[in-house]
Structure 1
Amino acid sequence: MASPHNGAGAMHTHRHGFTLIELMTTLAIAAILIPLSIPGWQRFQENHRASALSNQVLASIFNVRSNAIISSHNTVLCPSPDGRQCSHDLDWSVGLLSFQDRNRNGQHDDGEAVIAMIQPDEMRGIRLLTSKGRPRIGYRADGRSTGTNLSLRLCTRDDRLLRKIIISVGGRPRVEAAQPGVSCSND
């Protein structure tokens, strides 16, 4: 009688799993491909964070503008590191404060309602820079801007421009995608 492991009538056993050669080949391919995909993944994450932040800032601008119309009072959106007073810094990554500016002095005073705040950690590692000469965004009670046009630039820490939020003289904001390779400091 033939043994199950030898001879013409031997039973064939099927092995499940991978051989050492197959596993080593897979690891070698993964070791080559993973470093190649990391820069693309980082760019994807930066663009996603910039998109989320631009949407949040745009929503704040629309909120400030509509609050001016509804309340019949001037409103302001400005950089604020402490959430109480506006700073004159052109880097808005310190945090944002929006409020009703009842006495029209461009500063948050006691008794003026705070509309909203964006904390620095909500900037998601993106720098938010404004144009020179426009340290704040203001709206009149009729929804028009209190100043000239303004650009907010969303930039990476290595000074690459990701997006711009542009506010027209009339006060209407829009988002503009950046051209590849444009520096934040050159814009």
Structure 2
Amino acid sequence: MSAGLPRVLDQSAGFSLIEMMVVLAVLAISLLVAAPAFTDLIRDNRLVSSTYGVRATLNLARSEALARRAAVVVCGTANGTACSKSTDWSSGYLALIGVDEDATVDAGNPGQSRLHWEQQNNPSVTVTFSRNFVAYDSMGSALGSAGTFVFCDDRGASEARGLILSNAGSLSASVDSDDNGIVEDGAGNDVSC
């Protein structure tokens, strides 16, 4: 030690126990507040992902119907090889080209092929459609197939999403035009889960 400099006591440069407890309490409170919001964000993203998957498959089917000048059918499927003939599309959906409008697979038709298969990877999301299939004709219209896809999770209709298919074959997102917190189908009725 050099002469003339005062001697400073060596104090520990760490946190005290009280300071650490305060930081942990603030962190715990922050997590308790943020966790539900983060869970809702994950659920919302699953609904959006399912909506985009159906939209992409329907857009592909319509463009292929126009390009190939052939009927394309999109339907719910459980196994990726045949239509399930159900309005519940939660397991997945299938686009078939060269099938008739009742979505019956004709094994003897060599022009028939599976255009696309999307397996639903969000088991917490249910996907229903007001019909058991969508049939696009060679002009890309979906006459007789108009309806609403409804995407739900365990939060119910207040958080549901909808996708409206018109007879012309175009898609639009469902909106809540009456501000009651529930989106509406193509006829203006609230969707249900």
TM-score by length of 2: 0.81
Q: What are the Cα deviations for residues 85-132 of structure 1, in whole angstroms up to 9, with x where unaligned?
A: 111222210111111034444123324111111113x2363111112x
Query: Of 33, 57, 61, which aligns to 2:58?
Result: 61
Partner of 1:149: 146
Does residue 34 in structure 1 map to residue 31 in structure 2? Answer: yes
Gaps in structure 1 of 5+ consecutive residues? none
Does residue 166 in structure 1 map to residue 146 in structure 2? Answer: no
Kindly report the root-mean-square deviation, in angstroms, between the aligned alpha carbons of the 2 structures.
2.7
Where 1:97 maps in the other structure, the secondary structure is strand
- Using the aligned pairs only, state the percent identity: 23
Tell me if structure 1 keeps the 8 A contact 2:150–2:191. no
Work out the CA distance in 2 between the residues paired with 1:12 and 1:147. Answer: 88
Equivalence map 1:9-158=2 (5 Å): 9-13=6-10, 15-110=12-107, 111=110, 112-120=112-120, 122-123=121-122, 125-131=124-130, 134-158=131-155
What amino acid sits opposite 2:170 in the alignment?
R
Work out the CA distance in 1 between the residues paired with 2:62 and 2:11. Answer: 71
Q: How far off its partner does 1:34 sit?
A: 1.3
Gaps in structure 2 of 5+ consecutive residues? 184-189
Work out the CA distance in 2 between the residues paired with 1:185 and 1:66. Answer: 28
Partner of 2:192: 186
Tell me if structure 2 keeps the 8 A contact 1:95–1:117. yes
Larger displacement relative to structure 2 (96-105 or 61-70) = 96-105
Equivalent pairs, count: 180
Where 1:186 maps in the other structure, the secondary structure is coil
Tell me if structure 2 keeps the 8 A contact 1:127–1:157. no
Work out the CA distance in 2 between the residues paired with 1:55 and 1:79. Answer: 16
Q: What are the Cα deviations for residues 143-179 of structure 1, in whole angstroms up to 9, with x where unaligned?
A: 0103142100111134234311100121101123566
